[in-house]
Amino acid sequence: MDAASSEALAYLDTIAYGAPYKTLKAPSKFWVRKQTHKGSNGKTVSIPDADLTGKWVVISGSNNGIGLEAASQFARWGANIVLACRNLPPNSRETPPESAKWHVTTEARKAGHKDTSVEWWELDMANLASVESFAQRWLDTGRPLDILCNNAGMGSSPGFNKVFKTKDGFEIIHQVNFLSHALLTLRLLPSLAAASEPRVVCTTSCFHFPGIFDIPNWNGENGKTGQGGVQFYMNNKLYFQTWLTELQYRLLQHDEYKHITINGVHPGYVNSGVWNLNGSPRPIQEGALKVLAWFLAINTQQGSLCITNAATSLDAGPDPKVQGVGKEGGKGGGRYFNRIWEDTPMPHTKDRDCRVRVWRKAAEELKLQEKGLLDVLGLKAT
């Protein structure tokens, strides 16, 4: 980048988080509704089988729902799996991790993979110390990481209509659905870089379209939770899709990282545990949502295809002309997939000002510079 270009971008490094956006073209409400509605496409689909024999896959939130289905499919394809899940609290409605491990192992054996490794490692996304511990445990193995699936998430807040913070001091949906995955991904970059064609799959959502790009309310400072915390959910899906696009941009600037491909995916309208409303005082509302999902939504197997497709398909793979690896037909990363179809994300993801603000703010909250996690990728726009 020449001096003039660097100078032109310098304002992005210091601009106030709440300042007006100079280049962002906000979409119409009609377009937002249209794009959101696309996410409810319930067409039954399939994807080609893949050979993942000997590959290592880490998938968070893999004891339940689409995460468990995706882990099972990866195992059928011969991959070694690390189920990254929290140790469940009492009265949890999720599948116990040990049961999930047994199920995934059984699926691998049925497919003839007798030597496939399936492990459960504790990972609590509401606890940054747990994220750090998990990442270090993986790095200590010395294994290259072929596929990282940032899938864990929560659809509603234990505080319901009030801001609920973790012991780390962050609004819980903000931390679980976004911040912790950003930290995990950056911690595991050396291991991803050691793989031949590594991919990172991030479960974002079509609900990133109605998300509000509101960094001054980034951590619940101004409330505006939405019912059950749904506004925080939508906002953080938008931040996550924006952040991963900036990460891909930065990875491409460095020879040691440019072969890593990262994309965001929407599972579809899925009948899963996401409709268990955390902290909800309204069981009738929760029951109604579950009944609708039972009759109208796709099942978790169909929902999981967004993950397995982004992790293995040619289209979602690296662009050999840009990244130096992969096959012709790969289109690289920084993209958004509605189930298995690429679609246009919110324009914030393409606007460098928006992307750098998210990158800076996440770095500030997670103290990424102090931890040495931006030594290569950098903090500044240039």
Domain spans of the chain? 24-377
Among 266, 212, 233, 248, residue whose Cα is nearest residue 350: 248
User: Which CATH topology does 24-377 take?
Assistant: Rossmann fold (3.40.50)
Contacts of 221 (CB under 8 A, 6+ apart): none
Instruction: For residue 122, give the nearest of 149, 82, 87 by alpha carbon.
Output: 87
Mean pLDDT of the chain: 92
Q: How far is CA 379 from the centre of its chain?
A: 21
Residues 42-56 have a mean pLDDT of 97
pLDDT band at 279 (very low <50, low <70, confident <90, very high): low
Whether the per-residue pLDDT at 295 is higher than 50: the answer is: no
**Half-sphere exposure in the Cβ direction for 80 (13 Å, CA):** 11
Instruction: Give the whole-number percent of the chain exceeding pLDDT 90.
Output: 79
Residue keyed to tokens 């009492």: 90
pLDDT level of residue 245 (50, 70, 90 thresholds): very high
Give the per-residue pLDDT at 190.
98
Q: What mean pLDDT do residues 360-376 have?
A: 97
pLDDT at residue 370 greater than cutoff 60? yes
pLDDT band at 231 (very low <50, low <70, confident <90, very high): very high
Q: What is the mean pLDDT of residues 289-295?
A: 52
Q: What is the pLDDT of residues 99-128, one digit of tens each?
A: 999 999 999 999 999 999 999 999 999 999
Residue 290 reports pLDDT greater than 50: no
